[in-house]
Amino acid sequence: MRKLLNLADIEGKVSPHQLQVKGALKMRAAALEYARDVEAMARYLGGRVENLGLDEDWAVSKELYPGIIVYFAFNKADDEFPARLRTLYAGEKVSMIKGDELANVTISLANQLLRYVRESNPGVKLPEVCYKV
């Protein structure tokens, strides 16, 4: 079984990059409600659909570098909670990458997810964040 880590696990509990990523993903999460074909979105990212077993509605993985994988786990909004997008990391070399680099690459990939949403929903009024990436 793979060990999944967040940035705080990699950098330490006082991780400014964990907060940076969490804030960026929070702004982008609602737009991913418009992702109708997760398999196609994963291909667009150069990744694949996963089942992490974390009660996610869907998850997509992408190998960032050899031995370093990022997982995007998404939960749809419901009556109680807004949509949620989280990232986790795995791989034998994950601790070799600095937190700021992981954060920057993660946010860039999240922007790619939004580009897919924008391109796959022509004529649909999407959340404003989709037009800023």
Q: What is the rounded distance in angstroms from the CA atom of residue 20 to the CA atom of residue 15?
A: 9
Question: Can you give the pLDDT at residue 1?
Answer: 53
Q: Pick out the chain residues at pLDDT < 50.
A: none
Question: Can you give the pLDDT at residue 10?
Answer: 83
Q: Which residues contact 76 (CB under 8 A, 6 or more apart)?
A: 33, 57, 83
User: Cα–Cα–Cα angle for 39, 45, 49, nearest 5°?
Assistant: 35
Question: Can you give the pLDDT at residue 16?
Answer: 81
Question: Can you give the pLDDT at residue 96?
Answer: 85
